[in-house]
């Protein structure tokens, strides 16, 4: 019971920026190859996970 937990919260602006990038990439009318879209989404999420504040 002597454990301390640290909670971190990410500001609204970085999350909004991430959502905007995902929406732009996954537009319903997009004619992009699904494989290409998934690769790009993976890159965005990996980069964001490393630096969520940027």
Of 20, 26, 7, 28, the closest CA to residue 48 belongs to 20
- As for how many domains the chain has, the answer is 1
Checking if the pLDDT of 52 tops 60, the result is: no
Contact 2, 44 (CB under 8 A): no
Residue 4 lies in a domain: no
Residue 7 is assigned to a structural domain of this protein:
no
Instruction: Give the tens place of pLDDT for each residue, 20-44.
Output: 988 888 887 778 888 998 999 999 8
pTM of the model: 0.62
Residue 44 is inside which H or E element, if any? helix 34-50
**Is 5's pLDDT higher than 90?**
no
């Amino acid at each position: 019971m002597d454990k301390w937990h640290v909670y971190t919260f990410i500001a609204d602006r970085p999350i909004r920026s991430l959502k905007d990038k995902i929406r732009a990439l996954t537009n319903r009318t997009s004619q992009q190859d699904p494989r290409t879209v998934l690769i790009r989404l993976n890159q965005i999420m990996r980069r964001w996970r490393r630096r969520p504040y940027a």
